[in-house]
Homo-oligomer: A and B are copies of this chain.
């Protein structure tokens, strides 16, 4: 079955876009910081230890308390550095880990190729545009402002969790049925499956790096595009 809408479906009115790794680069900075973390603590630990796996375990353990975002990631790095080196790590290295988290927060927003033109094309085609992103409220607001894209969206929704309950509220707040709503993002878990569950449309645009937490198996019928630039053509019924 193809997930592409047809002229027989009720038309899509609202196109909702994820932000991190859909509109601008994000995970690539996490990955870079994580490599730096690994380099800093390698000499303190057993060479056979999978440092990445140990860090991911600490991150997942802290997710309920910290939620998503760089501050929680930085706290998890500090905690993991002390824990997996049995306290042998130096305060100098810990300060470097803190600084690398801070560098991520201060990093300029770097739009993914084609985003600007695609938003223009979608607006021209008459779609109501919504931004739906999860994570740290303060940092997401700063990134949205720095992106220069805020005015392109009818509304910005920064949410704590992208689950069906959240999407049900967001779709209702736009005054449309789920069938008139299409979510677009790089995470099958967060951007696609919960919206399909509600009877909405969803498009997966993979980013070349996916955080372990967002990885999920699916049955292969999820609509997938190689680039956001393909979105206007996908949305327009044949």
Q: Are A94 and B78 in contact (CB under 8 A)?
A: yes
Is A95 in contact with chain B by the CB < 8 A criterion? Answer: yes
Is A139 in contact with chain B by the CB < 8 A criterion? Answer: yes
Interface size on A, residues (CB 8 A): 36
CB within 8 A of A138: which of B68, B88, B90, B98?
B68
Is A124 in contact with chain B by the CB < 8 A criterion? Answer: no
Copies of this chain: 2
Q: Are B91 and A94 in contact (CB under 8 A)?
A: yes
In the bound complex, how far is the Cα of B72 from the Cα of A102, in angstroms? Answer: 11
Is A160 in contact with chain B by the CB < 8 A criterion? Answer: yes
Residue of B nearest to A68 (CB): B138
A110 — which chain B residues lie within 8 A by C-beta? none
A 57-89 binary contact with B (CB < 8 Å = 1; else 0): 000000001111101101100110011010111
A79 — which chain B residues lie within 8 A by C-beta? 95, 98
Is A136 in contact with chain B by the CB < 8 A criterion? Answer: yes
A88 — which chain B residues lie within 8 A by C-beta? 91
**5 tightest CB-CB pairs across the interface, nearest first?**
A67-B138, A137-B137, A71-B71, A87-B91, A141-B160
Q: Which residues of A contact B (CB under 8 A)?
A: 65-69, 71-72, 74-75, 78-79, 82-83, 85, 87-92, 94-95, 98, 101-102, 105-106, 135-139, 141, 158-160
